[in-house]
Amino acid sequence: MIEIRELTKRFGDKTAVDRITATVRPGVVTGFLGPNGAGKSTTMRAIVGLDRPTSGSVTVNGKRYADHAAPLREVGALLDAKAIHTGRTAYNHLLAMAATHGIGKSRVHEVIAMTGLESVAKKRVGGFSLGMGQRLGIAAALLGDPQTLILDEPVNGLDPEGVMWVRQLTRHLASQGRTVFLSSHLMSEMAQTADHLVVLGRGRIIADAPVSEVLALATGSAVRVRTPLAADLAPRLTAEGGSVTASPAEPDLLSVAGLPPARIGELAMHAGIVLHELTPVSASLEDAYLELTQDAVEYHSEVSR
């Protein structure tokens, strides 16, 4: 279990992560989703002690990463697949890592097999493709047979077969009761891989819920409602329930979420408000996600209203 509490990380006057709190649970795959620059890598680096929090805390199974006696056996992390000594072979790289943790050669062979690197294990890492580098990074993360896995953009550079492999591997590891936390900037990818999503936008958490709920939220269709009395209609619509939003798109146009067109029509009629347009609009998954994350702060205040 990873517990992130009120974590803030600033670089100079740039706040990369802004008071985030989340719990990553064992037994499920948790996706960490957010556009580039949202603060995912910074959070992951803080989990393994590479970035020191400006304030707040992160623990893995109740302890800070550095306080674990053999961190590699506790937490396996893929953070930057390129940060590998390029002159070494994949096998020697893993062997050197294993040696520092008292991990035997047989485990090195095991992780090489698990990650499909047998044919290139004796080749120098410098010549590896991005995809092979990712596999090697995942092999290194698995070396200590850790209870917790943190993978930053693990499918980056992988071909479709590799993407499928990561999906199956992470599901398998979670089914063994491990904590699996992986990041991506692609919602479509995470929707197929993760059980639970933590969505980050501009350093803040904008959703922390099962995938199905986040999908429903992100793909929730809106209704375009045009009326000369938009300002009168909006409060009557939002009075219908806490999840209803009615945002003015133009002076006489509302974008309404959380109510079906029929109900909007009824409410307008009861109030004697004429409608000039009532059009359902369904956003595509990626469009909705971009919208969700682009204006993280505004969105947050809308959903929590």
Query: Looking at 29-37, 106-114, 167-175, 190-198, which segment touches ligand ATP (CB under 6 A)?
Result: 29-37
Q: Kindly write out the interface string for residues 178-207 of this chain, putting x where it contacts ligand ATP by CB under 6 A and - elsewhere.
A: -------x----------------------
Query: Looking at 32-40, 101-109, 168-176, 222-230, which segment touches ligand ATP (CB under 6 A)?
Result: 32-40
- Comparison of 54 and 61: residue with beta carbon closer to ligand ATP: 54
- Comparison of 147 and 156: residue with beta carbon closer to ligand ATP: 156
Q: Are strands 222-226 and 245-250 parallel, antiparallel or unpaired?
A: unpaired
Q: How far is the CB of 13 from ligand ATP (least distance, A)?
A: 10
- Comparison of 68 and 185: residue with beta carbon closer to ligand ATP: 185
Q: Residues 26, 37, 157, 220: which binds ligand ATP (CB under 6 A)?
A: 37
Q: Residues 31, 39, 71, 258: which binds ligand ATP (CB under 6 A)?
A: 39
Q: Is position 157 an interface residue for ligand ATP (rule: CB under 6 A)? A: no
Q: Residues 18, 24, 40, 178: which binds ligand ATP (CB under 6 A)?
A: 40
Q: Residues 4, 22, 33, 34: which binds ligand ATP (CB under 6 A)?
A: 34
For ligand ATP, the binding residues (CB under 6 A) are 11, 14, 16, 34, 36-42, 185
